[in-house]
């Protein structure tokens, strides 16, 4: 589905997934936050959600049933049930809807929902979630065991540990930079995905980003010496090898493959290898959803002060990935989110379509003269009115 904004920019919205464009499936008001979605380049996944600084942030990838940040509840009448919820930090606009997200769990068919969060905030996050259930019990009445607060012995969990309990439908996963684990995702919770913790910088508030990847493995391939110049010759060679009792296949190692990085809230130091040990992992990810709270260079000091990023700080990284794409066909898609509420959608659009202000000439696929269908956008602007795909223009 395509529609045009007031500025004539084409928005691309996909409805391929059952829970894509949730507004069309739901009668509930929060479905408005999921009314538009975007494919994640290089995957079969789509992402939907909403993000504005100091308001709320929450995203949903239905194909793997994973939620990123917990500032927005999913509509309860569309069957969306998170297997994992990745909380980046403890600010209210990124975690206020966590108790609501947890209630989507169906104990009859789902494994416990795994809640990932920075290790230093997990204890209070558990308290917050438990209190949301316990508050319905009068103060002079005894709390049921399942509503009891988390034990004090779990106050300082080790990053990478696993905390069971509270309610039977959730498992807490204290996380941190360089921590690696594997989860089972997908419609039936059978698809393994590797989760990497990222070091972020958000002032005094512990903040962790996440990378999702397909684990390394092995595949069987036909021996190279059996491959002929055509199918007939290959068939003859394979037949002879089988008659000799030989194995016609060899095992080939497949390296781990990163798919998606979720990087917010943070300063630009998260991309600096001198400051953060996980910066290269972000830079190696083909798709990076990252905050871009401020646009103007004049807001750079304000961004640093508040633990955020301004567009000018991202320019060198976006320019480099765009250059790499034009040279080798392999670049990166930057999904920009978390814009300040001081900007309207039109103001954000005008900024990025103004070559002088943006510093990188960008436009729609037609404006950028990008004719290759397989080339994904260099930048996606996540606006309230829907995502906008932009390509860096040819010199």
Each residue of 47-88: pLDDT tens digit? 999 999 999 999 999 999 999 999 999 987 777 899 999 999
| Mean of all residue pLDDT scores within the chain | 91
Last residue of a domain, one of 206, 228, 254: 254
Question: Quick one: pLDDT band at residue 25, thresholds 50, 70, 90?
Answer: low
What was the pLDDT predicted at 15? 37
Read off the tokens for 302: 């304000």
Question: Quick one: pLDDT band at residue 22, thresholds 50, 70, 90?
Answer: low
118 shares its domain with 194: yes
Last residue of a domain, one of 205, 239, 254: 254
What residues contact residue 98 under an 8 Å CB cut-off, 6+ apart? 70, 85, 87, 115, 125, 128, 129
What was the pLDDT predicted at 19? 40
184 shares its domain with 226: no
- Relative to beta strand 249-254, strand 217-222 is antiparallel
Q: How far apart are CA 148 and CA 142, in angstroms?
A: 10
Q: What percent of the chain has pLDDT over 90?
A: 79
Q: What is the mean pLDDT of residues 15-31?
A: 58
Question: Quick one: pLDDT band at residue 26, thresholds 50, 70, 90?
Answer: confident
Tell whether the model's pLDDT for residue 179 goes beyond 70. Answer: yes
Among 30-34, 168-172, 344-348, the minimum mean pLDDT is found in 168-172
Last residue of a domain, one of 254, 271, 305: 254
Q: What is the mean pLDDT of residues 368-395?
A: 89
pLDDT tens by residue, 306-341: 999 999 999 999 999 999 988 887 889 999 999 999
168 shares its domain with 265: yes
80 shares its domain with 118: yes
CATH number at residue 370: 3.60.15.10
Tell whether the model's pLDDT for residue 30 goes beyond 90. Answer: no
Read off the tokens for 248: 């016609």
Tell whether the model's pLDDT for residue 24 goes beyond 80. Answer: no
> Is the pTM value of this prediction over 0.75?
yes
239 shares its domain with 263: no
146 shares its domain with 243: no
262 shares its domain with 250: no
What residues contact residue 183 under an 8 Å CB cut-off, 6+ apart? 83, 84, 114, 192, 193, 195
Cβ atoms 75, 20 nearer than 8 A = no
pLDDT tens by residue, 196-240: 999 999 999 999 999 999 999 999 999 999 999 999 999 999 999
Tell whether the model's pLDDT for residue 1 goes beyond 80. Answer: no
Look up the domain containing 161 and give its range: 2-216+255-392
Read off the tokens for 103: 């209630």
Count of positions (residues) in the chain: 395
296 shares its domain with 376: yes
Tell whether the model's pLDDT for residue 389 goes beyond 80. Answer: yes
What was the pLDDT predicted at 166? 64
141 shares its domain with 248: no
pLDDT tens by residue, 150-163: 999 999 999 999 99
Question: Quick one: pLDDT band at residue 3, thresholds 50, 70, 90?
Answer: very low
Tell whether the model's pLDDT for residue 193 goes beyond 90. Answer: yes
Tell whether the model's pLDDT for residue 274 goes beyond 60. Answer: yes
Among 106-115, 195-204, 269-278, 297-306, the minimum mean pLDDT is found in 106-115
What was the pLDDT predicted at 160? 97
173 shares its domain with 265: yes
pLDDT tens by residue, 111-124: 999 999 999 999 99
240 shares its domain with 335: no
What residues contact residue 176 under an 8 Å CB cut-off, 6+ apart? 118, 119, 159, 160, 197, 208
- As for how many domains the chain has, the answer is 2
Tell whether the model's pLDDT for residue 302 goes beyond 70. Answer: yes
232 shares its domain with 187: no
């Amino acid at each position: 589905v395509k529609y045009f904004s007031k500025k004539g920019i084409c928005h691309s919205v996909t409805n391929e997934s059952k829970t894509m464009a949730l507004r069309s499936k739901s009668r509930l008001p929060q479905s408005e936050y999921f009314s538009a979605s975007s494919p994640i380049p290089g995957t079969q996944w789509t992402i939907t959600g909403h993000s504005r600084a100091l308001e709320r942030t929450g995203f949903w990838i239905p194909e793997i049933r994973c939620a990123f940040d917990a500032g927005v509840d999913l509509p309860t009448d569309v069957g969306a049930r998170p297997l994992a919820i990745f909380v980046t930090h403890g600010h209210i606009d990124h975690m206020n809807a966590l108790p609501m997200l947890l209630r989507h769990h169906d104990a009859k068919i789902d494994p416990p929902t795994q809640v990932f969060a920075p290790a230093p905030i997990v204890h209070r996050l558990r308290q917050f979630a438990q209190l949301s259930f316990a508050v319905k019990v009068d103060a002079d009445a005894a709390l049921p065991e399942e509503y009891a607060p988390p034990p004090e012995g779990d106050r300082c969990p080790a990053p990478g540990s696993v905390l069971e309990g509270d309610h039977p439908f959730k498992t807490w996963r204290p996380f941190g930079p360089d921590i690696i684990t594997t989860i089972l995702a997908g419609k039936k919770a059978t698809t393994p995905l590797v989760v990497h913790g990222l070091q972020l910088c958000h002032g005094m508030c512990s903040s962790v980003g996440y990378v999702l990847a397909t684990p390394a493995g092995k595949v069987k391939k036909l021996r190279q010496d059996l491959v002929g110049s055509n199918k007939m010759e290959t068939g003859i060679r394979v037949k002879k090898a089988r008659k000799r009792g030989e194995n016609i296949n060899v095992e080939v190692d497949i390296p781990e493959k990163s798919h998606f990085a979720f990087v917010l809230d943070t300063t630009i130091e998260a991309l600096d290898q001198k400051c953060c040990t996980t910066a290269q992992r972000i830079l190696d990810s083909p798709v990076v959803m990252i905050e871009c709270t401020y646009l103007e260079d004049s807001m750079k000091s304000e961004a640093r002060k508040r633990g955020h990023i301004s567009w000018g700080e991202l320019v060198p990284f976006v320019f480099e990935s765009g250059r790499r794409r034009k040279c080798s066909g392999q670049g990166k898609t930057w999904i920009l989110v978390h814009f300040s509420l001081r900007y309207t959608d039109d103001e954000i659009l005008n900024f990025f379509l103004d070559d002088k202000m943006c510093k990188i000439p960008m436009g729609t696929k037609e404006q950028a003269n990008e004719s290759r269908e397989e080339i994904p956008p260099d930048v996606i602007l996540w606006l309230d009115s829907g995502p906008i795909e932009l390509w860096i223009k040819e010199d």
